[in-house]
């Protein structure tokens, strides 16, 4: 499990020069690794520690700290559903259970077909357009049951 020459070239010529140290450049490289390998397994952590000359314990500490870094491959569609106060007051609790039933998956699980995963998120920072959710990095605002039906219909 290694980066190809093109990716290494990007890391050494584009990413590392923007930071004062390799340790400071770790997060962008970590995100690149997750995109390239699908997850940041222990093997990937060891590779990154060696590549950037950073202690493995630090790599693991960072990789396990951030909720957007995944140790196992994810579903095709990862849905982050905001459960903060504003979204809850505007209906996200009802929408949450509707979504679970529609997809047949509970928070933190991957659906049997491997397509869907739901992550409950404390805040997505969009209180003015609540309730909100993010699907594979794309924000959807003013969510209703009808919008959920439309979004799921596009993914099926």
The C-alpha angle 147, 149, 82, rounded to 5 degrees, equals: 55
Residue 57 CB: number of other CB atoms within 10 A? 10
Per-residue model confidence (pLDDT) at position 68 = 78
* List of domains in the chain: 5-65 (1.10.10), 77-155 (3.40.30.10)
Q: Which of 66, 147, 81 is nearest to 119 (CA)?
A: 81
Per-residue model confidence (pLDDT) at position 38 = 86
Question: What Rg value do the Cα atoms of the chain yield, rounded?
Answer: 18
Greatest alpha-carbon pair distance for the chain in Å reads 50
> What 3-state class would DSSP assign to 121?
strand
122 touches 109 (CB < 8 A) = no
107 touches 119 (CB < 8 A) = yes
Count of positions (residues) in the chain:
156
Distance of CA 68 to the CA centre of its chain: 4
pLDDT tens track, the chain, 156 positions: 899 999 999 999 999 999 999 989 999 999 999 999 989 999 999 999 999 999 999 999 999 888 778 888 788 999 999 999 999 999 999 999 999 999 999 988 888 888 999 989 889 999 999 999 999 989 999 999 999 999 999 998
């Amino acid at each position: 499990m290694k980066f190809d020459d093109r990716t290494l070239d990007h890391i050494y010529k584009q990413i590392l020069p923007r930071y004062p140290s390799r340790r400071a450049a770790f997060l962008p490289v970590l995100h690149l690794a997750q995109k390239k390998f699908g997850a940041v397994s222990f093997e990937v952590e060891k590779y990154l520690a060696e590549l950037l000359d950073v202690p493995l314990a630090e790599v693991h500490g960072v990789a396990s700290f951030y909720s957007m870094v995944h140790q196992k491959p994810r579903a095709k569609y990862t849905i982050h559903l905001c459960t903060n106060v504003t979204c809850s007051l505007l209906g996200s609790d009802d929408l949450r259970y509707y979504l679970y039933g529609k997809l047949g998956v509970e928070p933190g699980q991957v659906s049997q077909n491997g397509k869907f995963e739901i992550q409950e998120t404390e805040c997505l920072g969009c209180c003015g357009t609540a309730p909100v959710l993010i699907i594979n990095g794309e924000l959807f605002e003013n969510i209703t049951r009808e919008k959920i039906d439309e979004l799921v219909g596009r993914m099926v």
